[in-house]
Every structure is written in structure tokens, then in C-alpha cells.
Amino acid sequence: MTRTLAILLFTLSAVEGLAPAAHGAPAVPDQMGLAAKASLLESDALKWMAVVGLPPGAEFAVVGEDPVTHGVEALVRFPASYHVPPHWHSHLESMVVIRGKLWVTIEEKRTSYGSEAVVRLPAGLLHAFDTGWRGCTFFLRTDKPFDLFYQHPEDSKQ
């Protein structure tokens, strides 16, 4: 599993343009004040809250927010047998499944993603989520403030 995770992280860094430079490394940045900006959180320090706009049962814990774009980084957990109806966002939604299975439905095709899977959904893509009997926990990152728009507005009243 460690090798798989290392390959996954290297692949993600290459996709995001963060792969190590092939020809020499830049100078080490000035370290003044950088340690104060680090987020090092144990799971018992997370503040879990209900996700406004999702059906009851979903929880999230914010890990960070980009001060310029207001994109968020958060841990999200869905309970067992959970369903989020078809919806879309105005932002990129990147997820890494940590535990359980996340079923994603796009254009009537339903696919399951387990631990260490990466799911990256562009802004505007209509999709739905489901979980199995164990529920699902995943890391979420958005490139703008989180929002949610249901295909059928009556679904927002759940």
C-alpha cells in the first residue's frame, strides 16, 4: 500500500505541475514564519460539522482555506447507505478516498472508488454520490469557495 500511495502522490504532483525539477533545485525559501502556517492536526483535534445543503448525516472538518481563492481543503465523511442526488458545483472538486467506498454516478454510469482512489470532477459536471454499508471518508479540495446546486431544486430540501 505504501508503494501505491507513493506512486499516486508522484502522479498527482506531476499532473498538478509539482513534480521535482529535472535540472537543479531552487534555493530553499526563507523559513521565517512558514512553520506558523503549517497545519498538523491529529484526528481528535478536528471539528466535525454538518454539511449545509447535503442530506442529513454528512459531516466535514475544514483543514485549510486558500486566502486568495477561498478554495477549501476538508475531510468529509458520509454515513453508510448515504445518497447525494444529482448535483454540480461552480468549482473543481478533487477527492482522495481514505476509507470505505464512494460510488460516483456520471451520465448514468455508476462506478465505485475505494481507498486511495482519486476522483477529480470539473466545474459544472452533473454527478451523484452513494456509499455502501461502511460509509466513506475522503479528503476534498476545491479551487473556489464550496457551493452545491441540485439538478432538481426540490432535492435541496431534504
Its domain, for residue 133, covers 45-157
* Assigned domain for 101 exists: yes
Model pLDDT, residue 9: 43
pLDDT in tens, 13-31: 444 555 555 667 888 888 8
Read off the CATH number of the domain in which 105 is found. Answer: 2.60.120.10
| Residue 49 lies inside a defined structural domain of this protein | yes
Domain count, the chain: 1
For residue 83, tell me if it sits in a domain. yes
Model pLDDT, residue 154: 84
- Model confidence, pTM: 0.78
Whole-number pLDDT of residue 16: 52
In the predicted model, residues of the chain with pLDDT beneath 70 are 1-23, 158
pLDDT, position 17: 53
Listed in sequence order, the DSSP H helices in the chain are 2-15, 34-37
**What pLDDT shows up at residue 108?**
94
In a domain, residue 35? The reply is no
